[in-house]
Structure 1
Amino acid sequence: MSLHKEISFETEVCEYLAANGWLYAEGDGKDYDRARALLPADVVAWIEASQPIAWETLKKNHGAAAEGVLLDRIRKQLDERGTLEVLRRGVEMIGLRVPLKLAEFKPAFGLNEEILARYKANRLRVVRQVHYSIANENCLDLVLFLNGLPVATVELKTDFTQSVQDAVDQYRFDRRPSPKGQAAEPLLTFPTGALVHFAVSNAEVMMTTRLQGPDTRFLPFNKGNEEGKGNPNNPKGHPTAYLWEEIWQRDSWLEVLGRYMVAQKNTKGQISGLIFPRFHQLDATRKLRDAVLTEGAGSKFLIQHSAGSGKTNSIAWTAHLFADLHNDQDDKIFDSVIVVSDRTVIDTQLQEAIFSFERTTGVVETITSENGAKSAKLAEALACGKKIVVCTIQTFPFALEQVRQLAATKGKKFAVIADEAHSSQAGETAAKLKQVLSEQEIADLDDGGGVSSEDVLAAQMAARAADNGITYVAFTATPKGKTLELFGRRPDPAQPASDKNLPEPFHVYSMRQAIEEGFILDVLQNYTPYGLAFKLAQDGREVDEKEVERGAAMKSLMRWVRLHDYNISQKVQVVVEHFRSTVQPLLDGKAKAMVVLGSRKEAVRWQLAIQKYIKRE
């Protein structure tokens, strides 16, 4: 019964794809070349259709051996450079003046007839029950091909008898890229085989870009359900139908392969990882792009993505999408995209992500302390129309001023993408920031607290509400009230704010979903109230209590609530000693802990108190 339902599931997916631009035929799997991990007929058909002159040259040079020479060369290049690079850059062959294209991805603008013809000629094929192994008869439920090159594998399970975890386990234990005592499987080997592997049930989708046996890490690729994990019910079919109906839709899938997937390289230039977007990242960036195309430059967006959402990559994708964005008349939407972050570590990660996503050298300019005169460099980059400019919070106010001047005097249009990240500021930087901060924020800063790019941007926007031609996108996990007011969108923009018409984020990946999907820990799951900790410290013995006057009790409680050094020092002792005795020994002595507090000011004072206690003890 379960096998019958699984076969029906396969058939349903394949027939949907076949009706929507994909190639599919029963028995396609028999033409699969296991050793080369290619579909030879599709490779040749693509070359013949998209580059007929090159194909005629190959036949003239190699005669009947032309196909074999072509396939061997592709396999060799896949092994040397990886599937993603070969698909995007093609392969060089003796006798041909230009590399042989193995796919045509849609450019940002200006589709000429030749490129459009090649783009339409892309052969997307789904093949079922593919006997992939060179050592046995193991087979995969589905393999997705682009012009004869495998780009994805799929294991399907029906929730009637099995779950998505069964598909995950099948990959981990039965779909090993290098089975013990056997040669490596070309289709499953990283990064020279399929780019991504999907575990799919009726209810959930998981994916990975690298199979490593039992150590394989699968990530959820789900929409989320009421701000939690999983997928909402689908009255028209399976909850996971979005995968083949939306993500594998022809143009969507080609865009994912051509623009979203990113190869990470180590210091030796070797591919160490492949990034495939999670669903919320793909959804948010595409919706941002569509909204800007509809509304033009000048709108504001709030992306509320929790910690664990992959915010750095989402910002990088957004920056590159905006940098290449053109309207129907092929006019550029933005002259430059400014990305700002205020944490040194995150800023480094952000720069690396944006550079790794860069497909053409020279697109990205970073303004750092190493540049010397940062303001001059920033002004030059913006005036020259550098596509993407990455700066820190120190240069942020100057960047905004430059952007406004260029927008007002030159008619230029900009996108400003701000990462929320919080950072303590001092000295000259703090003095500059105080020019745009509120009295409360200045007080927090003077007390040792931090100010974020979110604060600066909000203060600047409040001072100058009308910024024609400048699109603002704020990424934050925990938006403040003023951030929601400035960047959020009311359900009914024509009506004034009310309890039923409050500003909302443009896109949400909730903390609950991040916790349930395992990307962050729930710090409240095993918390111990301070009162209970005190009782435990007394070995459960009752402690004498006495009644006090309400007024005196309130005063005492208020003193406790306020940040008294003595109170903090007493709690710090409990926290540190509890950590040393109970938490630190876990995980082979490498366990860590988090102290959660009510404000930045409180956090700073706790940090100082903890450092003081540790030094003293």
Structure 2
Amino acid sequence: MSDRNVIDTQLQEAIFNFERTTGVVVTIKSDSGAKSGQLAEALAGGKKIVVCTIQTFPFALQAVQELAASQGKRFAVIADEAHSSQTGEAAAKLKAVLSPEELADLGDGGEISSEDILAAQMAARASDKGITYVAFTATPKAKTLELFGRRPFPNQAASETNLPAAFHVYSMRQAIEEGFILDVLRNYTPYSLAFKLAHEGKEMDDTEVERSAAVKSLMRWVRLHDYNISQKVQVVVEHYRSLVQPLLDGKAKAMVVVGSRIEAVRWQLAINKYIKEKGYKLGTLVAFSGEVNDQTSGPDPFSETSKELNPGLNGRDIREAFKLPEYHILLVANKFQTGFDQPLLCGMYVDRRLAGIQAVQTLSRLNRAHPGKDTTYVLDFVNSSDDILKAFQTYYETASLENVTDPNLVFDLRAKLDALGYYDDFEVERVVRVELDPTSKQSDLVAAITPVTDRLLRSYRDAQERLRIARSKDDTKAAKDAQDTMDALVLFRADMGAFVRLYAFLSQIFDYGNTAIESRHIFYRRLIPLLEFGRERQEIDVSGLVLTHHKLADKGKRTLALGGFGEPLQPIYDTGSGSVQERQKALLAEIVAKLNDLFQGDVTDDDQLIYVNNVIKGKLMESETLAQQAANNTKEQFANSPDLSKAILDAIIDAFEAHTTMSKQALDSAKIREGLKDVLLGPGQLWEELREMREYQRSDDV
């Protein structure tokens, strides 16, 4: 089994390459009829090797149960990319279906109580009789080692002195030394970002906001700012052209990793604009899932197939298209950071927070060997070199556990949830009886769980209304009480989710033998999706913000030397330990000031965008000629106006005395003056404001 279709295809091809006896191997494909029927037929028909994805297996649950394909048989389940869904619900279902004795009895008409069925499910999850599990992964999580690792003393329970470990290790270090992969940390360049914000037009002093929400909103605003993206785009393209593209006889490719799908859209539009303006012959692609609504970039939703983003795709898969020589740079957001194999990748540009296993998996897209490939480059706009090195160090020799997860965490979390009083044992058992009755209908389940759902949703809505009324009356105490009620319900839902995830994992290792625990697992899984409380988010008004300073600084290329001690993997210690806390409030103006203090760094007056936005733009806004041209021409036509270029030069000369250094550089360089024009027409919105001013004058005249 594998977790992703691309790996599934590679495994199928590899197995067929060494298959010598026809009919031994069968692959479960989506283009060959129902997956459940294929898989059941393969298991019942004596096939020795079945290749499928873990996502395919649940389709076959009912068919396999009916055929009882596994009774008396012995199985080896080989799981690739084990760090992913093998530790989740899908693997738990897989183990259950391979031990179906009790379910077979039920199918034969026997009467088995809910208690019996619960006990059977418990035993099936923690039992491995007749099944050998082999899992392969380059970057195991702690849960993976606990689930698949071999204990030094197999007859004793896992503990701090009997830690599960890999049965075999081919380490990153050995793979690098033997030339199977490259060391991607040899040319690592971190960047630092410094900026300052100001606020125009609106008073900020009396605007109290939640601190964490405000910081996130402000940082998101900076990350999406046209000027911030344009500066990074310039660094990426010029670095790629000068250092990356010449590698592999000019065939080297690069990947840009951004933080969100909307950033992917903005980056792609900006990078294509920059490449076009420079006349470079570079092809780019952008990859993300679903659709992105971004009115700033365009009125219609964007997707991978949008002509504005990937005009040359023409229905081709992005993986396949990126192999072609006309494509050089691939931008990704939450996609292709794992399981993507392109040996020509020699450069990576990171504008996303990475930590731990995600950092290793993402940067390791570069490590594929290829004839002549001996150099890779990483430019990182966000992360520190210390954090990246720490992440790789864990997996350089071999990943190990610090301790094992305490199985009693499940009991602790159950006690916490029971004590809240949101449900009682009768309501739990009512849902469980319906769930385990093969003759029950969906309407039976709805009737069993609706009383609990309605009560909790009504409680949340009532608290929302009390909060609205309290705020309108400036009743601080009533508002706090209502908010606490809502927060407690949201936390309750989160803790149920933590219980379900924890139990799905631990029940594969430990046989709890406690049907009350299993009952809650069933009850919570049914209840969680129905509790759509909504999210009470305070909107932070960023419309008046101005980016006054911005400096992106190269901190120097360095080699992050792997070797020595790597921190062990941490087990689960404190899941579901949250509590309702009062949100920290602060004035928006104070938060902006603190952000400025934090990110100011060595920003100087020479880095000020305010020179462009206020001084130069202010003088241009006084021009009647420019206002008339802006009102009567498109933005592109206005950009090519000789009057605009002359007006910019005049404004620079006028500003010379007050801004000597910047004005002197601008006067001496036509390139700088063109850059100033780009800023004025982009984030400066000169054309828009001139048109608006002209319209206002016309309406005034009327």
Identify, as 1 or 2, the structure richer in helix: 2
Between 1 and 2, higher relative CO (CA 8 Å, sep ≥ 6) is seen in 2
Identify, as 1 or 2, the structure richer in strand: 1
Larger-gyration structure (1/2): 2
User: TM-score normalised to the size of structure 1?
Assistant: 0.32
User: TM-score normalised to the size of structure 2?
Assistant: 0.28
